[in-house]
Amino acid sequence: MFVLGLPYAILHGGYLGLFLIIFAAVVCCYTGKILIACLYEEDEDGQLVRVRDSYVDIANACCAPRFPALGGHVVNVAQIIELVMTCILYVVVSGNLMYNSFPNMPISQKSWAIIATAALLPCAFLKNLKAVSKFSLLCTLAHFVINVLVIAYCLSRARDWAWDKVKFYIDVKKFPISIGIIVFSYTSQIFLPSLEGNMQKPSEFHCMMKWTHIAACILKGLFALVAYLTWADETKEVITDNLPPTIRAVVNLFLVAKALLSYPLPFFAAVEVLEKTFFQDGGRAFFPDCYGGDGRLKSWGLTLRCSLVVFTLLMAIYVPHFALLMGLTGSLTGAGLCFLLPSIFHLKLLWRKLQWHQVFFDVSIFVIGAGAPRRPSPAGS
Q: Does 325 map to a domain?
A: yes
CATH code for position 213: 1.20.1740.10
Q: Does 276 map to a domain?
A: yes
How many angstroms separate the CA atoms of 92 and 238, rounded?
11
Q: Does 377 map to a domain?
A: no
pLDDT of 381 strictly over 50: no
Among candidate residues 212, 320, 241, the one with its CA nearest the CA of residue 8: 241
Please write the tens of the pLDDT for every residue from 96-127. Answer: 878 877 878 888 888 988 998 898 988 888 87
Q: Does 314 map to a domain?
A: yes
pLDDT of residue 185: 78
Please write the tens of the pLDDT for every residue from 218-227. Answer: 989 999 999 9
pLDDT mean across residues, the chain: 82
pLDDT of 239 strictly over 80: yes
Question: Could you give the maximum distance between any two Cα atoms of the chain, in Å?
Answer: 71
Sorting pLDDT into bands at 50, 70 and 90, what band is 380? Answer: very low
Among candidate residues 320, 380, 378, 328, the one with its CA nearest the CA of residue 94: 320
Q: Does 231 map to a domain?
A: yes
Contact between 39 and 58 (Cβ < 8 Å): yes
Is residue 302 exposed (0-12), middle (13-18) or buried (19+ Cβ within 10 Å)?
middle
How many angstroms separate the CA atoms of 361 and 367, rounded?
10
Q: Does 229 map to a domain?
A: yes
Mean per-residue pLDDT, 249-273: 86
Dihedral sign (CA 11, 371, 34, 325): negative
pTM to 2 decimals?
A: 0.78
The SS3 assignment for 342 reads: helix
Q: Does 378 map to a domain?
A: no
Cα 232 to Cα 11, 18, 221, 244, 322, distances in angstroms: 7, 14, 15, 15, 19
Instruction: Give the total number of structural domains in the chain.
Output: 1
Distance of CA 293 to the CA centre of its chain: 35
Can you list the positions of beta strands (E) in 153-234? none
Sorting pLDDT into bands at 50, 70 and 90, what band is 378? Answer: very low
Residues of the domain holding 176: 2-371
